[in-house]
Amino acid sequence: MVDLFSIKQRFGIIGNSEPLNRAIEMAVKVAPTDLTVLITGESGVGKEFFPQIIHQHSSRKHQKYVAINCGAIPEGTIDSELFGHEKGSFTGAIEARKGYFEEADGGTLFLDEVAELPLSTQVRLLRVLQTGEFLRVGSAKPQKTNVRVVAATNINLVQAIADGKFREDLYYRLATVPIAVPPLRQRKEDIHLLFRKFASDVSINCKMPTITLDEAARTMLENYYWKGNIRQLKNVAEQISILEPSRLITEQTLSHYLPMEGVGSTPIVVGGAPSEDFSNERELLYKVLYDMRRDLTDVKRMLMEVMSGSTTPSPYDEPRGGGSVAGYLPSSNSYAPEPQETIGEEVFDEPTRPLSKEDMQREAIVRALRHTGGKRREAAKELFMSERTLYRKIKDLGIDEI
């Protein structure tokens, strides 16, 4: 049985969420083998801990562990860095040099940001994974290596394959055992633990009291989307610890350090789901259709009363915007209804242009704002969405102030 507590303590991993525990268990189970492992996850989730766990729980733990960032090496020198080169193989090659595959022979080689490798280097890497052989730059003599490769990326490799930026055969060689590291928003129970750890570190290093969050601030922290994951959370904890004079952090204070919605910002989530959740849009569309049907019924009823000689519509039939019946009817001398097509005993209205999803959303938001007198908070509650989401919708849909 995997001792998760000791593993987390050894590698400094904080959290008890189920997705995180599953990822650690997979890493420990695959460690005794020599299978290639591909670690995926968003930037800032802590992917770099997993190749270390795999190496330390393998038979190679007494050999070298070499970690390189493929995205940090220029394309012109990446082949030399990985596979080495011979003297005189290119300008500046004044002597032969070993590459990382030679240096890590017998141990583990961690290729971070593997999706950044150029296609020509991907071919070379594929050969190493298939045959255990490689060629130094400028050499025709194959060399053997016994390296366990663990790769990581924050890019969707399936999409990269479709875009022609990553080789499909290399993907299947790397992803013999895939491990997905969960984003922070899927580890809500770990967010406050991590925040306390980062705040405590600042307190110790800077010799100041540790900050604490009140209940509302903690809820806000746990419901935030955290696009930058753990890296962003640490940044926020450090900023607040240094800049805020009060050691008790309220929701209002915390909101100053969390980016609002907009260009380059991170959305707030409500109830643990992103504000872009399709359920919100579906509920909004249902409300639009319901309101349209009710309004159409009201207009037809008022039209029939006017045509039958009634001069004052009942209060029930008055439009909800406070407008008059005239606002719903054509100009004078044109009380006749729109032309209709008759088939047998049934009457069909002429087809109208169907409303787009954006039109329906705009209609519902405008109605809610008018109904609440322009009060966005109340309008957001009526539309079953957060106030921040309503702000973004108003901006995206180009709705003028009511």
Q: What is the DSSP string of 42-106?
A: -TTS-TTHHHHHHHHTSTTTTS-EEEEEGGGS-TTTHHHHHH-B-TTSSTT--S-B--HHHHTTT
pLDDT tier for residue 117 given thresholds of 50, 70 and 90: very high
| Distance, CA of 361 to CA of 102 (rounded, Å) | 60
CA distances from 225 to 84, 230, 248, 275 (A): 43, 11, 23, 9
* 402: Cβ contacts below 8 Å, ≥ 6 apart: 366, 369, 370, 374
- What tens digit of pLDDT does each residue of 274-306 get? 434 444 555 556 556 656 666 676 666 666 666
Q: What is the topology classification, in CATH, of domain 4-182?
A: Rossmann fold (3.40.50)
Beta bridge partners of 38: 151, 178
In whole angstroms, give the CA distance from residue 88 to residue 139. 10
CA distance 211 to 199: 7
Of the candidate ranges 71-80, 195-204, 316-325, 352-361, the one whose mean pLDDT is the lowest: 316-325
Given a cut of 60, is residue 219 above it in pLDDT? Answer: yes
pTM of full prediction above 0.75: no
| CB atoms closer than 10 angstroms to residue 377 | 11
**The tokens of 357 are what?**
């999803």
SS3 371: helix
Nearest in space to 108 (alpha carbons), one of 196, 34, 38: 34
Domain coordinates of the chain in residue numbers?
4-182, 185-255, 273-321+354-402
Q: What is the pLDDT of residue 332?
A: 39
- The answer on pLDDT for 349 being more than 70 is no
pLDDT digits (tens, 9 = 90+) for 153-171: 999 999 999 999 999 999 9
Q: Please say whether the dihedral angle defined by the alpha carbons of residues 382, 385, 391 and 392, taken in this order, is positive or negative.
A: negative
The residue whose two tokens read 């022609």 is: 164
Residue 287 CB neighbour total at 10 angstroms: 19
Q: Name the strand (E) or helix (H) holding 393.
A: helix 387-396
One-letter amino acid at 326 equals A
Does residue 178 come out as left (phi exceeding 0), alpha (psi in the -120 to 50 range) or beta?
beta
pLDDT score at 257: 94
Q: How far is CA 87 from CA 84, 101, 378, in A?
A: 10, 18, 73
Q: Which of 155, 70, 157, 77 is nearest to 116 (CA)?
A: 70
Q: Does domain 185-255 match CATH 3.40.350.10?
A: no
Write the pLDDT tens digit of every residue in 82-114.
999 998 888 888 898 999 999 999 999 999 999
Residue 223 makes CB contacts below 8 A (sequence gap 6+) with: 188, 268, 269, 270, 271, 272
306, 355, 309: which is closest to 327 by C-alpha?
306
Report whether 42 contacts 154 (CB < 8 A): yes
Size (the chain), residues: 402
pLDDT tens digits for range 239-251? 999 999 999 999 9
Q: Is the pLDDT of residue 262 over 70?
A: no
- Give dist(CA 14, CA 23) in Å, integer: 13
Assign 182 to helix, strand or coil: coil
The CA R_g of the chain, rounded to the nearest whole Å, is 31
The CB density around residue 204, as the number of other CB atoms within 10 Å, is: 10
Q: Collapsing DSSP states into helix, strand and coil, what is residue 329? A: coil
Q: How far apart are CA 105 and CA 83, in angstroms?
A: 12
CB half-sphere exposure, 2, CA atoms < 13 A: 17
- Give me the chain's average pLDDT, please: 82
